[in-house]
Amino acid sequence: MQNKTTVTDFILLGFSSDPTLHLCLFGLFSVLYSATLIGNTLVFVLICLDYHLHSPMYFFLCHLSIVDISYASSIVPHMLRNLLGQGKTVSFAGCGTQIHLYLILALTECVLLAIMSYDRYVAICHPLHYALIMNWRVCFTLAAVSWASGFTFGTLQASLALQLPFCRPYEIDHFFCEILAVLKLACADTTVSKVLIFAVCVCFLLFPLVFILISYLCILASVMSIRSGPRWHKTFSTCGSHLMVVSLFYGNAIFVYMGPGSYNSSGREKVLSLFYSLISPSLNPLIYSLRNKQVKEALLKLQRRKRIF
């Protein structure tokens, strides 16, 4: 309980103190962040403007784009300022807001990815009943559940963590206010917070991951029963790319929050956190949307409209 005072600011230690490395990382992260903003905004605009994309699959992709833009924007801008040596200090309120936002958005994305895999399962394995099963009422309900569950459990985790007393020095060994890094500064017992984090990880990481894998296994089994080489190739290509994104997002998150020594290895946390906070949001538009034939056609239509005007 030594050096316990009322905290007003935290210091984000970020990455290495090497200025050259900082400039390299700044350039790399700026490119990835720009790709995240441009790609997800483009997907969102195309889905809104083209009525051919007003279907359940693109409805959920629209929500995923909103989550990815918000998620990256809650973390990356301050990280870029930190790399330039201009924003290492963050207020207690600002840190709490960042924890709150990234937890809500990350948990929402966990549920959304599982819902999207279910949508693809119904579309491929039960095409005749797809319109009945995935009607708009069901879609709106599933989207609301993903946001509501993310908000509820994200708020609960953030509230418990921020109510703890903290000890000097208020140095967070991370590039943003990540909840495990903040808990390391607590002067009180953090068992309740850690148990809640583990329980939430089981519900939002393990269960959805298992559900996604089962959905894609059913899809592959259904496609393999059809003697169509082109359809096999298309499905394997699509499923493979989707599973790559899922592996990056869920795999790294599970390793950070549920892996051995997850509360002690700050260096590993920083590297793995980059995958689900920056790399995955930048890849999602390309993997889920921009490779799709319908999205490409919508993009061509948008370009033709610009030329006319």
Q: pLDDT tens across 67-87, in order?
A: 999 999 999 998 888 888 766
Q: Within a domain: residue 4?
A: no
Rounded to whole angstroms, the Cα distance separating 65 from 288 reads: 10
Instruction: Tell me if 99 sits within 8 A of 182, measured CB to CB.
Output: yes
Range of the domain at 231: 9-302
Give the tens place of pLDDT for each residue, 212-244: 999 988 888 887 776 666 666 666 666 777 777
Is a pLDDT exceeding 60 seen at residue 4?
no
Rounded to whole angstroms, the Cα distance separating 188 from 182 reads: 12
Structure tokens belonging to residue 48:
């809104």
Q: Within a domain: residue 94?
A: yes
Q: Within a domain: residue 49?
A: yes
Rounded to whole angstroms, the Cα distance separating 234 from 237 reads: 5
Give the tens place of pLDDT for each residue, 97-151: 999 999 999 999 999 999 999 998 998 889 899 999 999 999 999 999 999 999 9
pTM: 0.89
CATH number, domain with residue 87: 1.20.1070.10
Q: Within a domain: residue 308?
A: no
- The whole-number pLDDT of residue 1 equals 44
Number of domains in the chain: 1
Partnered with residue 10 across adjacent β-strands are: 90
Q: Within a domain: residue 1?
A: no
Instruction: Tell me if 149 sits within 8 A of 108, measured CB to CB.
Output: yes
Q: Within a domain: residue 3?
A: no
Write the CB contacts of 154 (distance below 8 Å, at least 6 apart in sequence): 100, 103, 104, 105, 106, 107, 108
